[in-house]
Homo-oligomer: A and B are copies of this chain.
Amino acid sequence: MQAKRILGIDPGSRITGFGLVSSVDRTKAPTWITSGHWSLKQEEMGERLSQLYFSVHHFITEFKPTEIAIERVFVHKNAQSALKLGQARGVAIAAAVAHQLPIYEYAPKQIKQAVVGSGNGMKAQVQHMVKFLLRLTENPQADEADALAIAICHLHSHQPWGIP
C-alpha cells in the first residue's frame, strides 16, 4: 500500500504555513517530512499572491503530496480582511487544483480536537502537541504548527471538500 503524503496548508495574506506528513495507514503514527511558513513580504497584494501561487506550485512539484488539507474558514468580523484571506485561500486552492490534487477541508474546532483533544485549545497547546505527535525536536512556528495540525486532522478523519 502506497503511503499518503498530506500537505496541510494554513493560508494567510501575509504568512502561509505548510506542513507535509506521510502515513502508511491510520494505525501508525504519521511521519513528518517537512514544514515551514512562507512569509510574503512584498507591499503589493498582487505580488504576494503571485509569490504564494508559485510557492505552493513549486512545493507540490518538488515534494509530490498526494492530498491537500486546508482549514475551513468561517465569517470574519472584518470584510476587508475576509477578502484578503479569501484571495490567499483561492490562490492556494488554485495551485492544488492545477496539479489535480484532491482537497479536503476541516473546521478549526475539528483540527484542534484532532491534536489537543478539545475544540477550544490554545495556540501554544497546538504547537506543543504537533511537536509531540510528530516527534519534532522543537516547537514549530505558529502557522507551521497549524498547517501540520490540519494534515494530522486529515489523517484521522476524511471528508470530501466543501469549501463554504
Contacts and interface: CB of A to CB of B under 8 A. Distances in A.
A83 B85 CA distance: 7
Interface in A23-52: 44-46, 49-50
A25 B110 CA distance: 56
A116 interface: no
Interface in A49-99: 49-50, 53-54, 57, 73, 75-80, 82-95, 97-98
Given A46-B163, A57-B98, A163-B44, A79 B90 contact: no
Interface residues of A, number: 37
Given A87-B86, A87-B89, A90-B89, A45 B76 contact: no
Nearest to A49: B93
Interface of A: 44-46, 49-50, 53-54, 57, 73, 75-80, 82-95, 97-98, 103, 105, 161-164
